[in-house]
Each structure stands twice: as structure tokens, then as C-alpha cells.
Amino acid sequence: MSNWFVYMLRCNDGTLYTGITTDLSKRIATHNAGKGAKYTRARLPVILLWSVAMENEGEARREEIRMKKLKKSEKELMI
């Protein structure tokens, strides 16, 4: 059983990005190499602000969707 992570990044322009992965350090490196999500490619570099481990992909996806519905101010409170 592999752990899944929900994570939040701060982009260079101050915006926040939320995603999921099974390898957090590799995913952050991928984002900063310009090979991650299209959203982050134009907003480099990114820094990891927050992450939480989840037991499975379904749980991680549900949390990611929930977080993406939050206002930026609500996300800032989480960090």
C-alpha cells in the first residue's frame, strides 16, 4: 500500500496550487523543472507550503477536490 499526498504550493506570483502525488519530493522537483502542471509552468519557482498523507488515491482525490473549492483566504488559514 503506497501513501498518497495532497499538497499545496505557493507559486512565484503568489497564487496557490493544490495537487496529489505518491512521491512528494519528486513531484515538487518536476514542477520546478517546468514539467509539472501547466498552471505551475508559467509561475515558477514553486515552494511547498503544506502536505498531508492519505491512505489511498480516492481519499487523496476527494481531499484535493474539497480543497480546490476553498477560497484562497481559507487555504491561507490552513498553512
Supply the pLDDT for residue 26.
Answer: 97
Burial class of 35 by CB neighbour count within 10 A (0 to 12, 13 to 18, 19+): exposed
pTM score: 0.92
Supply the pLDDT for residue 79.
Answer: 84
Q: List the chain domain ranges.
A: 4-78
Between CA 10 and CA 8 the distance in angstroms is 7
CATH fold, domain 4-78, is GIY-YIG endonuclease (3.40.1440)
Please say if the pLDDT value at position 1 is more than 80. Answer: no
**For residues 49-74, average pLDDT:** 95
pLDDT (tens digit per residue) in 11-59: 999 999 999 999 999 999 999 999 999 999 999 999 999 999 999 999 9
Supply the pLDDT for residue 33.
Answer: 96
Between CA 54 and CA 16 the distance in angstroms is 20
Closest CA to 36 of 54, 63, 18: 18
